[in-house]
Chain A
Amino acid sequence: MILDHLYLIPLLPFLATAFTAFLKRPQRSLSSGTVILAMSVSCVLAQWALWTTITQAHHGEVFRHATSFEWLRTGTQALQLGLVLDPLSASMVSMVTFVGLLIFIYSTGYMHEDKNYTRFFCFLSLFGGSMLGLVLSNSLVLMFIFWELVGVCSYALIGFWYHKPSAAEAAKKAFITTRIGDVGFFIGLLYLYAKSGNLMLFDSTAGLGVLDQANLAKLEQMTVTLPLFGVAAVSTVIALLLFCGAMGKSAQFPLHVWLPDAMEGPTSVSALIHAATMVAAGVFMIARMFPIFALGTRHGEMSTAMTVVASIGSFTALFAALIAVAQNDIKRVLAYSTISQLGYMVTGLGLGSVASGFFHLITHAFFKALLFLGSGSVIHGCHGEQDMLKMGGLRKTMPTTAWTYFVGTLALAGIFPLSGFWSKDEILLYAYHQNKAIYFIGSAGAFLTAFYMCRQIVLVFFGKQRSHDFHAHESPGSMLWPLRILAFFAITLGIVGCPYYRGNLFHHFISPEHHGLEPSMTVMLSSTVIALSGLILGFLVYGRSKAVEKGTDPLRNTLGLLHIILENKFYFDELYRNTALRAANFLASFFRAFDQLIIDGILHTVGFIALTLSTFNQWCDNFFINGGFDRSCSGILRGGETMSALQTGRIQDYLRFTALGTVFFYLAYMITLILQP
């Protein structure tokens, strides 16, 4: 039943968008009501779809329902569109609709005073719908279409307060940075199309899909000679090109720079971007296309693509956690924490465990949405203040926000038995078995995560309020209930991925054909110790610090230069501004000058030569032809005048000439006679 009407899940939010687009500004509750209604119906359908997927699965096999229809013919090949429901997409839509719905409800409170409330909900719905379409796509081209739509929505929403120059700038930055990755995705898509002949993911009838066995086997055989790199497997090249797209969307190093700036949007948008949509898209895409990444894996050796993915992921996890330590803006800390957690997910996928990376995506969506909405509640309560050094002591004035925030923090830090513990631990478990270096990097990141989250908690909720510019107050119920619900899931969701409860249900659901690793007490204990020590250290540094009371960070003095570097995010913005952007501008100016000076220069030179030549011709005309003609005319005239002098009119003169003529002709006759032989 639901299988035939899968399209309704993304369609309903789209319809809501279309409807709200025509509403006028004052029709506020109608717009938010429509959008929330559409999303809640989608949410019910999504849970139904998930339930269907769970119940209809046969033991040890992936349940998959794929549809496709021909969309466009491009020459001899054709592009298909379609939808697919399998454990991956089912659990994703279930999460996206649910978390999305809560964020929508929260937004009614958060955006209450904004005058463009109607337009905000219109975009919000479009954002949600695009993400759902992306998740359910059974075709890489459809996925790309929704992928780009997600990008456009994020642009519109990050720049929602477009009158703020920083917001407009952030929106542009987000769009262009992710677009750089998208180019890689697009080229990868073209390449895959050229090699596979279509872009369907799964083909339920003929098995022609890109991810079907026949095509994977075909791809595995192909190699290509690249300039500089030598011979490489085609699958590696395609996988890495696709990964470029994921790096952009999921903010992996070195395309991570847009995500922290995306905080300029309203907080509920940040929550949506960081939890349910946008950044999740990249990780989801890797999980979806994982069979291509995994091609070339032999005897437990990771394929080249997987090695690259895991390395970038783990590097990002640590790198972003380091930056998060030195940020003072409440949302920026969370932003870097998202980058870092995305790094863990990507690492998990790169290590070959789709289930663990993906599980972290799901749990993270819940607790990160919780934290973001919590921070939104804090900002709302503090009348727009975002600097943590000015807050403090808010647990008394905002009790519900405070306790839900603690839950989110503990989940993010990976404290037993909250959801974050189980999901992060499984990634670390894989790293422990496959690559010790990644394991240590991951653990270091986990330590820092606990540390900066504790720092945030202490600075925001403990101590005394340091700035007296605002009177903090608790937020309305529409904002608090989503927090409570999310907190519930942040605590309990780990159960489905817990290896001790019916042997990791989630893993069996996502990839039943693989057996997960045996849980390791060593890993669990050490990560618990690491997380706890991070929390304790955070508390020791910030809990009783005199510096904090004065509104400065105690670490600033201790770490010195390092802290300044971290505060400035390793100067990546400056680096890009001074290299890539400057080079592009220079080249563009050079081309413009080339156009004006060289091409038009040649043109003008040719024009000038032609003009000079014409002037010369004109002179020739005047001097030789006209002048010559005129002169010959006047010569003739003068000749005539001379001749006319002979016309005297006297008979004597004429007789004289006649006589002379006769003599002349007589002499001439004589001469010819003499000369004749």
Chain B
Amino acid sequence: MILSSTIFIPLGAATLVMLMKPQWRREIKIISAMSGVLCLVISAYLCLTYDTAKGGLQFVEMRPWIPTLGASYYLGVDGMNLSLVLLTAFIMLTGVFIAWNIDDRTKEFFALFLILVSGVFGVFVSMDLFLLFIFYELAVLPMYLLIGYWGSTRKEYGAMKLTLYLLAGSALLFFGMLALYFKANIWSFNLTELAKISYPESFQKWVFPFIFVGFAVLGGLWPLHTWSPVGHVAAPTSVSMLHAGVLMKLGAYGCLRVAILTFPQGAQFWAPYIAALTAVNIVYGSMVAMVQTDTKYVIGYSSVSHMGFVILGLCTLNEAGISGAVLQMFSHGIMTGLFFAVVGRFIYDRTHTRELKDLGGLRKPLPWANVAFIIAGLASMGLPGLSGFIAELHILIGVWERFPLIAALCGIAIVITAAYILRVIHRTFYGELNPKFASLPPETIQEKVSVAILCAVLIVVGIYPVVLLDTIHSAVDPTVKLLHHVQPAVPLEQITPPTTSVQAVTGAVATVTV
């Protein structure tokens, strides 16, 4: 019951909002905020009562749903998705606060926003592939309307691009899903059951990319990433927060839960190639972020870079890397939410510009924004004391074991990240204040509360990471043991990769032994 409530509270709130009169703006916002608080309380309760000693799926709900297909209403959480449920709740609540100034069709905005959140919760707690897929689509569609109507810069283009990309991803995914369903031949979409079967290696090798890439489109894998910065820039602030903060994690989570856990040998085979792509993500994303002039684009590309870290962590297929990836999903979600809140709400809604050349000196009129942005920036640079460091430390320890060259390459990105974050801080908050912005409206209580919550999370996890890592390890460690239980019959080095040019790059990456 308790997991269902995370899905149905936002959905119920959305229904309630739809029944209200459009001019009841304040009430609509309060209802949304209350559902956010409820979801946060429930997620926190889940995290606190989850038994890490026992591990495995807990709070399970299982009901038959479409028996003729073998689809069931099967929910459950373990260490891999628990922190993501918590993340969603945090972003949902702060997102509602950040959307407090939306007075244009308030009712429709919040209804769609809540449906979107409900879909996201649904994906994270579903353990049935069919159900997961339905929720996945439920999450993508309101996004189109939210961006298309309430968005800014090139909103129609951004909304269209994003939706088409994600639908293309789900097409790949749908195909892979059907192939899996028929190959398994157990008349079920139950993910735990599907993962128990050992599929023939050749099958794993060709189906794995469909499912992995299908999800990785949403995770922003290079070169399928260009929807993400454009979409983030176009989206209204709280939707950007949800989008970059949570939706991209849906993709990475799907890669882990569905693709890697079901096809361990496929994952072993493809990991070096995907790792090479994520290295591009990391370095390329950070470099492009460095030359952007629109603040939101900088954050958008920084997400591309950081999501590269997440997928890279998954590709290591070892405990350190995967648990780091899960933690990085959480950490990046909070951090990026904070970035977008500051840039979109504090700065853009006041100054109506995001161009670096027009900004400057905002430290004085917007002190909360300044501190919040610096904290998010330090987390983004991987500074110790904030959650980003713990996550990146884990990922890089994991990556060093498998792909030392990529780990070294990531070093470049660490320096560049510092450069672009400091660039934004300097151009936005330091220097002389543009006289146009001499009398900006003061920071509101909702804004302050939301950034304070997010900053606090970054700091708490940074200083006391065990709070999340214990649960993450309780799921990742046994799973990784299972992954390596079925070693490929042929050692990895002797498998001939499909094309020679890719082989040259990734082969070198995979086989350098230190």
Contacts and interface: CB of A to CB of B under 8 A. Distances in A.
Given A194-B400, A595-B226, A75 B287 contact: no
B400 A172 contact: no
B426 A172 contact: yes
A587 B394 contact: no
Contacts of A190: 396-397, 400, 407
B34 interface: no
Nearest to A224: B514
Interface of B: 161, 223, 226, 284, 287-288, 290-292, 318-320, 323-324, 363, 378, 381, 383-385, 389-390, 393-394, 396-398, 400-401, 404, 407-408, 411-412, 414-416, 418-419, 422-423, 426, 430-432, 465-466, 469, 473, 477, 480, 512, 514
A176 B226 contact: no
Nearest to A172: B422
A578 interface: no
Contact of B514 (A74, A175, A191): A191
A75 B319 contact: yes
6 contacts: A165-B431, A179-B415, A194-B400, A194-B401, A194-B514, A584-B416
Contact of B397 (A74, A145, A148, A600): A74
Given A187-B408, A194-B401, A595-B288, A179 B414 contact: yes
Given A72-B465, A72-B469, A179-B415, A187 B284 contact: no
Where chain A touches its partner, the secondary structure class is helix
Interface string A161-173: 0110100100010
Contact of A179 (B318, B418, B426): B418
B288 A74 contact: no
Interface in A288-332: none
Contacts of B384: 144-146, 148-149
A72 B414 contact: no
A660 B324 CA distance: 96
Contact of B431 (A168, A176, A186, A595): A168
Nearest to B230: A600
Given A76-B319, A172-B426, A600-B226, A183 B415 contact: yes
Given A168-B426, A172-B422, A176-B418, A75 B411 contact: no
B319 A74 contact: yes
A193 interface: yes
A599 B223 contact: yes
A179 B414 CA distance: 8
Nearest to B227: A603
Interface in A238-259: none
B164 to A, nearest CB: 8
A75 B383 contact: no
A556 interface: no
A180 interface: yes
Nearest to A141: B393
A75 B284 contact: no
Give the residue among B324, B363, B404, B465 with the most A Cβ atoms within 10 A: B404
A595 B416 CA distance: 18
Contacts, number: 114
A592 interface: yes
Interface in A590-604: 591-592, 595, 599-600, 603
A415 B414 CA distance: 45
Contacts of A59: none
Contacts of A589: 291
A587 B287 contact: yes
Contacts of A637: none
Given A72-B465, A74-B320, A599-B226, A592 B292 contact: yes
A10 to B, nearest CB: 14
A74 B394 contact: yes
A73 interface: yes
A219 to B, nearest CB: 13
Interface string A473-486: 00000000000000
Contact of B320 (A75, A587, A595): A75
B504 to A, nearest CB: 14
Contact of A183 (B226, B390, B414): B414
A193 B466 CA distance: 20
Contact of B226 (A75, A168, A584, A603): A603
A144 B423 CA distance: 24
Given A74-B394, A187-B407, A584 B418 contact: no
Nearest to B316: A75
A159 B320 CA distance: 37
A626 interface: no
A175 B404 CA distance: 26
A190 B324 CA distance: 14
Given A162-B430, A183-B414, A176 B469 contact: no
A588 interface: yes
A75 B378 contact: no
Contacts of A193: 397, 400
A96 B264 CA distance: 53
Contacts of A632: none
Interface in A562-599: 584-585, 587-589, 591-592, 595, 599
B400 A175 contact: no
A127 to B, nearest CB: 14
Q: Which 3 A-B pairs have the closest CB atoms?
A: A75-B319, A145-B384, A183-B411
Nearest to A244: B411
Contacts of B378: 152
A584 B287 contact: yes
A71 to B, nearest CB: 8
A343 to B, nearest CB: 24
Contacts of A585: 290-291
A137 B422 CA distance: 29
B473 A588 contact: no
Interface string A602-637: 010000000000000000000000000000000000
Contacts of B400: 190-191, 193-194
Contacts of B319: 74-76
A228 to B, nearest CB: 12
Contacts of A186: 396, 411, 414
B287 to A, nearest CB: 4
A588 B426 contact: no
Interface string A495-533: 000000000000000000000000000000000000000
Nearest to A610: B164
Given A152-B383, A179-B414, 6 more contacts: A72-B465, A75-B318, A144-B384, A145-B385, A184-B411, A588-B291
Contact of B398 (A75, A141, A175, A182): A75
A588 B285 CA distance: 9
Contacts of A148: 383-384, 389
B294 to A, nearest CB: 12
Contacts of B396: 186, 190
Nearest to B397: A74
A175 B418 contact: yes
Contacts of A180: 415
A552 to B, nearest CB: 35
Nearest to B466: A72
Nearest to A182: B414
A599 B228 CA distance: 13
B514 A163 contact: no
Contacts of A74: 319-320, 323-324, 393-394, 397-398
A202 B108 CA distance: 62
A279 to B, nearest CB: 19
Contacts of B290: 584-585, 588
